Structure 1
Amino acid sequence: MRRLTAGLAVLAGLAAWPWLGARTAPAAGEPAARDTGRGTNILIVGIDSRAGLSAAEKRRLHVGGEGCDCTDVMMLVHLSEDRRRASVVSIPRDSYVEYAAPEGTTGAGPRGKINGAFKLGRGPLAVRTVEQATGLSVDHYLETDFTGFERAVDDLGGATVCTDKPLKDRKSGLDISTGTHHLDGNRALGYARARHLDPPGDLGRVRRQQRMLAGMLEALTVRGALADPVKAADTAHRLLRSVRTDDRTGLNDLIGIGWTLGRLPADRMEFATVPISHFDHRVPGVGSTLLWHESRSRALWDALRADRPITGDTRILPVPETRAETDPARIEVRADDARVATALRSSGFAVTDTSASAPAQRPAGPPVITFPEGREADAATLAAALPGARLRSEIRPDAVLDVAVGSDPVVVKTVTYDRNLAEGAPVTADRFRCPGHPAPAGD
C-alpha cells in the first residue's frame, strides 16, 4: 500500500510537468528555435576537491596532492523537447573561455580555463560561464565530488567498460587489462580521471567518460531501474545521496530525467566533445589551454538550441575525403621508393627514405605494408594513404612500419587526421557497446 501511495504521488507530480507531455514540431517555415532554445539542458559537473578527505581516503581514491577546487568533469546534457533524443556534450576542463561576471556586477569577467569558474563562484558561476560560452540556458545543475562519484557508481550497480589495449595510469590508480570489466565506484573513478595514457590529454579521457556513462545508462535500462516513474524515483533517491543539485532541481526533476533516459534506445543518445582548433594554446599565468573551433563549436551549440541531432551534421564535423584514424606524425615509416617517401612525408608521416637499398627487380603487385603486431590502427592509416596496398603483420621489437613498393603503379593520397574526429566526434551510444554485450530488448 505504501508503494502504491508513493507511486501515485510521483505520478501526480509528473503530471504537472509540461516538458513530459506531448509536443508538436514547428510547422514548415516556422523558426526552429525560440530565443531561449527548445528542450531541456542539464549541466553535470564533477569537482576536484580534497577538502575533508583523510590521508587514508586520499590513498584509497588515488587523489594525492593538492586539489584545484575546480570542475574536473563537465558534461552538458540536452534532452529534446519531444523527449525522443538526448545529446551529451563534454566540455574539456582546459577550455579557454571568458568567465561570466560575478553575480550582481556588469562587464566582462576574466579569462581562464573553464574549470576555474567553479573556484571563483562555485556552481552558480560555473553555470553562468557555460551559458555565456555556449549561448544555451542551463535548466538543471548536478554536482558531485570524488567520494560522491564513487558512491553514485556503487549505488547504481557499477560500470561496465571495455578496452582493446591495457590501460594503466599510476596517478589515477587505473590498471585494467584488454577486454571487458565491471568496475566498482573506486575503479570507475580511476577510469574516469585517467589522463596519462596514450594518447595523453583530455579528449581521450572525456571519451572514456562518455563510454562509461552510456554503459551505465544502458545497464540501468536493462535492469528496469528507469522503467517507470516509481522505479525511476527509487533510482533518483539513490542518486541524491551522492549528488548535489541547484535550487531549480528537485526529486521530481531527477525522476523525469531518468525516466526519459530510460526510454531512449542507444541510437537516440548522442555523445560528443566540443570541437577544438588549438590543443596547446599557451597563456601566460594560465598554462596550456584548449581553444574551441569557432565555426564548429558554434554549429554545435546552434544545433542544440534548435533541438536538432548533432550526429551527421557536417557543420560540426566535416568529413574528410581520406580519413586517418591515427596521427601520421606519430607513425614512423621506412619507404623503399623515393617518390613514395616524399609523398608520404608531405602527408605528415615521419618517413625515412630507404630507396638506396631497394631491390633492383621490384616484386610483382601492389605495395606491401609490413607492421609490428599491435600497430593495426597505424597500419590502417598508412594503408589509407596507399590505396590497394597489402598489409602484413609480424612480431618484432621496433615500432616502424615498412613500405615495399612493387611493380604496380603507386598512388599516394593525402590523408587528413583530425583529433576531434578521432577522439570526440558526435556518435550514438550504440557505437560504445562492448563486444559480447547485446542490445537491450526493443533497442
Structure 2
Amino acid sequence: MEITEARRPLTWLLATWGVTRLVLLLFVFRVFLFPGPDVTTDVSSIYQGWYEVLRTGSFPQADVTWQYPPAAALAILSPALLPFLDYAQAFFVLAFLADLAVLVLLLNAGLRPRRSPRGAWMWVAGVPLLGPTVYARYDVMVTAVAVAALLAGVRHPRVMGALTGFAALLKVWPVLLLAGAVRRRAWGAAAVTGAALSALFALLMPGAFAFLTFQRDRGTEVESLGALVLHVARQFGWQGRVLLNYGSVEFLGPYVSVVSDGALLLTAVAFGWLLLWRLTARRIAAHTPADAAFTAVLLFTVTSRVISPQYLVWLVGLAAVCLCSRATRMTGPAALVLAASSVTVLEFPVYFADVVDSTPLGMALLFARNGLLLTAALAAAVLLWRSTVQEPAGERVRPLEPDADQPTRTGETAASAPS
C-alpha cells in the first residue's frame, strides 16, 4: 500500500505530461487547428529553406533572418536524422524528444533524497501553456542542453562548462548560465568548448558569424517591453508602422531607435547589476548557480528588444531546475513565469492580430505578460541578492572563494570546500 501511495504522484505527473504532449503534437501536425496564425510555417518554410542552404556546406549569408550562432546549424539540420519523415514532421518529433529529455533530467534530479519533484511539475505544466509554438521552434532543444548543463552544476563543473559553451553557440543566451558558476573549471571548459567549436565552424562553413551583423540591425519588436511605449504612442497619433523586418514583426518610424537604444541601455544596467552581485556575493549554496542563471536570463529577457513567445521556454526550463531544490528562493518568480506563459499564448498566436494593430485587447495582453515578466525579474534579483549578499543577523561570512560551492563562514579553511 505504501509503495502504491508513493508512486501515485509520479503516475499523475507522467500521465499529465503524456496527455498534454499528445495535444501539442496533434496541433503541430495540424490534426487540430490552433487559433490564430499557423505557427508551424516557420519550420516548413524558413527552417527548411535554411536546411537546404546548410546542406551545401555554407551558412545562409544573404538571408537577414539568419540571426543565430553557428551551432544552430546542427538544430536546423537535425531532421536529417529521421529521413523517413518529411522535414517539418521530423522537426516536430525531435522537438518532442527534446521535451522528453528535459523531463527525464528533471525527474532524475528531483526524485533524489532531499530534492523536490516540483521542477518536473513546472516543466510539465509550463510547456503546454505556451501552445504549439514550443514544438515549432528549436528553443526547446537549446533548453534541453541548458538544463543538462545546470543540473551538472557544482558536482561536474567541466561538464557544465562544456555544455554551456555548446548551448551558447546554439542560441547565445545560455552563456548566462555561467553567472552563478563558482568554479573556474566551468568557465574554462565553456571558453575552450566555445572557442574550439567557433573555430571549427569558421574553417568549415563560410558565413559562420554573419549573424552578428543581422542581430545588430534589429529594431524593436512589437511584443517587447519597450514596444509598449510605441503601442501607447499610437493611441495619440504617432505615425509609426508595423512591418516584418529582419525576420520579426517590428515597429518602424520616428523615435523607434530611441526606444531600441533604451533597451540596450537597460541590458547594460542588468549586466552591471549581475557583475556587482558576483563581486559582492558572500554565500553560495548548491542551489545558487541555478537561481543566478534564472535571474540573469529573466533580466536579459525583459530588457531585450525582442520578447518572442519561445523565450518563455527558456524561463520555464530554468525555473524548473531551480524548483528541483527545496532550498531555492525562486518559487515566487517561477509562479509568475507560469502566469506569464498562460498570457503569452493569448498574445501569440491567438490574438496576435490585436497586438499588431495595438487594439485595447492586444495592449492589455502585452501589459499583463510583460508586467508579469518584469515583476518576476525584479523579484528574482531581490531574492538572489538577499540570499547571497546580505549578511544574516549575528553571522559573519567571508568573501566567496572562487572554487567554493558551499557557504563559507569565518574560521573555515579553503580546503574545507569540496573539490
- With the length of structure 2 as denominator, give the TM-score of the two structures: 0.30
Structure having the higher strand fraction is: 1
- With the length of structure 1 as denominator, give the TM-score of the two structures: 0.29
Structure having the higher helix fraction is: 2
